[in-house]
Amino acid sequence: MNLKDVMQFRYSTKEFDPEKKISAEDMDQLKHILRYSPSSVNSQPWHFLIASGEESKQRVAKGAQGTYQFNEQKILDASHVVVLCARASIDEPYLLHLLESEDSDGAIKRQSLKT
């Protein structure tokens, strides 16, 4: 399976077969793709949680109670569940932290960009 083709197909699954599992190779490819999600000024104000075990999917399903209760069974039946966690805002201390990290990683080459 070519994951890029699958992603471009853009089909929203209504029901999952709990017997079907995503291969480790396909999950590795998906994780690789998620790492390259672009962001403004390389802020990357998100991270991803991937639940594949029954206990971890149960924990994610608890977050779907109430208004999103109709999604609980989908979460439990899915092979893997990817949770997108994002910052609600990007403040100056976070941006300074990013700048310091990029500087220490050698990503900032010109001295004029460091001040």
Number of domains observed in the structure of the chain: 1
Has residue 99 been placed in a domain?
no
48 and 82 in contact (C-beta within 8 Å)? yes
Has residue 37 been placed in a domain?
yes
Mind spelling out the 3-state secondary structure of the chain? CCHHHHHHHCCCCCCCCCCCCCCHHHHHHHHHHHHCCCCHHHCCCEEEEEECCHHHHHHHHHCCCHHHHHHHHHHHHCCCEEEEEECCCCCHHHHHHHHHHHHHCCCCCCHHHHC
Q: What is the pLDDT of residue 71?
A: 94
Has residue 49 been placed in a domain?
yes
Domain with residue 21: its CATH number is 3.40.109.10
Has residue 105 been placed in a domain?
no
pLDDT digits (tens, 9 = 90+) for 51-91: 999 999 999 999 998 999 999 999 999 999 999 999 888 88
Has residue 66 been placed in a domain?
yes
Range of the domain at 21: 3-87
